[in-house]
A and B are shown apart, each in its own frame.
Chain A
Amino acid sequence: MLIKKPSDIKASEITPKELFLNRRRFMAQMAIAGAAVAGLTSPDFLLPSDARAGEKLANVQKSPLSINETPTPLKDITGYNNFYEFGTDKYSPSRYAKSLMPRPWSVAVEGEVNNPKRYDIDELMKLAPIEERIYRLRCVEAWSMVIPWIGFPLNALIKRAEPTGKAKYVEFTTLYDPKQMPEQRSRMSLFWPYVEGLRIDEANHPLAILAVGLYGEMLPNQNGAPVRLVVPWKYGFKSIKSIVKIRFVEQQPSTAWMKANPSEYGFYSNVNPAVDHPRWSQATERRIGEFSKRKTLPFNGYGDQVASLYQGMDLRKYF
């Protein structure tokens, strides 16, 4: 009996990755739209397979750097976000971030380093043991949350990269892809892509982490999947989301909010109840879920650990 050898698939017949991903996204969108029409309230099962939010993360260690405060409910952490790439009101990200595809994903580490490298996200997540860090998050808009992040210290990545003597700052960049991040088509909000930065000693501080999850699970899209920065002693906007590039530089980076309004948003943006936003007070904050306001703490309550980074600096000038 003659057994035919299966013919090789011609390269021309293989769907290009880009097209393939687009098709999947299209189908997912159609499915979601269809489900919405059918009146289904939770079309979660129709999400693209790339969305891995909700997947449990294994081997998560507890951290002594966690605070002992009650975490904000998951539905508030995932339903009330500032993520301008999906719209400027706080309810848009949870609605529209489904178009973000956190897989496949890579993060380029480059600039003034001896070991530049493009990390695949799954490789990046194995750079260091992942830990749970329960941190306060203080938004510049005077509200706050307590979030159980899952991640690893940023300094583990920095160590791997081996910054040169010229690396004085670290610049982070969010994905730029208006197809996935529809608000990037608009110039009314910010200059895209979103850029943030830290001084190298801030970036090396053990409290600064790259977060890949929260509440023990993979990071939901609206919280900055698949990987974001968390710097708990600074206003929330410093903790850049959906990072694709980490660049070590000599000059202080110009960040998205500094470009948008230099008189209102400075490079440091440390939480500071003594320095008001030009248009509102930063002395108090509303913890999400609470009725009365609470007093805002210097460095968001992390002063003991981080104040020494800013010794001798006039924090009114370097706001």
Chain B
Amino acid sequence: MKLKIFKVAVFLTSLTPLALLGWFALTDNLGANPIEVITHWTGDSTIIFLLITLTVTPLRKLTGWKDAIQFRRMLGLFAFFYGCLHFTTYIWLDQFFDFPGILKDVAKRPFITIGFASFIFLIPLAVTSTSAMVRRLGKRWQKLHRMIYFIAAGGVIHYWWLVKKDIRWPLIFGVVLGVLLLYRFWSTQSLAKIAGRFRRLQVSPVAQKVQSQ
């Protein structure tokens, strides 16, 4: 029951970026270039939610708080939600459905190519996020959803390649993502695997041959 209330609270909190954007729009506070503000705002929100989603597992492992996993799907879907808003802003408000222009952009501009690809790869993750799909896909589900690592990296690179000079924000996002990915790399499981591989290498035929010479 308590968890349910907490879930509602997280859901409502996750809507804050959208609520704030709506508030700025209604109070005429989007500045001289509202479309740019909406684009950047929804883009930032997407990356932030991708990073929050990636924080769930380390948080669970480090604190032992098992229920943390209960929030992962919701947070991931919010990343997708803000990604959709960001994408729609680009297609509709920025390009105004100029599809030849959009295709040219996607093909020619690396930062748009990678942003576009990251968004497209988010779609199968969102579609397979239901409990039924998790059951149906079994082990393959986890494999598929590891794509979020590449999607988040794609999002950060997309931002990095877009800025003219001041890379402070993409750098901050990149460092956070780096820490979250490194944690996974160094987490006990992979350490054990690396150690195992190392041991096997030691006793491999080649190694033995080298030793016997």
Cβ contact within 8 Å between A141 and B164: yes
The one of B33, B111, B168 that contacts A143, using a Cβ cutoff of 8 Å: B33
Interface set, chain A 285-302, CB cutoff 8 A to B: 286, 288-289, 291-293
Bound-state CA distance A190–B33 (Å) is: 24
The verdict on A188 contacting B168 (CB below 8 Å), with A281-B105, A292-B96 known, is yes
Cβ contact within 8 Å between A88 and B162: no
Interface set, chain A 129-157, CB cutoff 8 A to B: 141, 143
The one of A90, A189, A279 that contacts B109, using a Cβ cutoff of 8 Å: A279
Cβ contact within 8 Å between B162 and A279: yes
Bound-state CA distance A279–B113 (Å) is: 11
- Expressed in whole angstroms, the minimum distance between the Cβ of A74 and any Cβ of chain B is 11
Which residues on the A side are within 8 Å of B195 (C-beta)?
A: none
Cβ contact within 8 Å between B35 and A289: no
Cβ contact within 8 Å between A90 and B33: yes
The verdict on A260 contacting B165 (CB below 8 Å), with A279-B110, A292-B96 known, is yes
B20 at the interface (CB under 8 A from A): no
A76 at the interface (CB under 8 A from B): yes
Sorting the interface of chain A by its residue count into under 10, 10 to 19, 20 to 34 or 35 or more gives 20 to 34
Bound-state CA distance A281–B164 (Å) is: 14
Which residues on the B side are within 8 Å of A90 (C-beta)?
A: 31-33
- Expressed in whole angstroms, the minimum distance between the Cβ of B167 and any Cβ of chain A is 7
Interface set, chain B 84-111, CB cutoff 8 A to A: 96, 101, 104-105, 109-111
The verdict on A80 contacting B166 (CB below 8 Å), with A280-B109, A281-B105 known, is no
B161 at the interface (CB under 8 A from A): yes
- Expressed in whole angstroms, the minimum distance between the Cβ of B14 and any Cβ of chain A is 25
Annotate B135-168 by CB proximity to A: 1 below 8 A, 0 otherwise.
Answer: 0000000000000000000000000011011111
Cβ contact within 8 Å between A289 and B165: no
Which residues on the A side are within 8 Å of B166 (C-beta)?
A: 84, 88, 188-189
Cβ contact within 8 Å between A189 and B32: no
Cβ contact within 8 Å between B32 and A76: yes
Which residues on the A side are within 8 Å of B165 (C-beta)?
A: 84, 88, 188-190, 260-261
The one of B31, B35, B96 that contacts A80, using a Cβ cutoff of 8 Å: B31
The verdict on A289 contacting B32 (CB below 8 Å), with A188-B167, A279-B110, A281-B105 known, is yes
Which residues on the A side are within 8 Å of B110 (C-beta)?
A: 279
A71 at the interface (CB under 8 A from B): no
Closest to A77 in B: B32
Which residues on the B side are within 8 Å of A76 (C-beta)?
A: 32
Which residues on the B side are within 8 Å of A91 (C-beta)?
A: 31
A sample of 14 inter-chain contacts (CB < 8 A) reads: A79-B31, A79-B32, A80-B32, A84-B166, A88-B168, A143-B33, A188-B168, A260-B165, A261-B164, A279-B161, A281-B101, A281-B105, A288-B33, A291-B35
Apart from A80-B33, A261-B165, A288-B33, 12 more pairs, CB < 8 Å? A76-B32, A79-B32, A80-B31, A90-B31, A143-B33, A188-B167, A188-B168, A189-B166, A260-B165, A279-B161, A281-B104, A281-B105
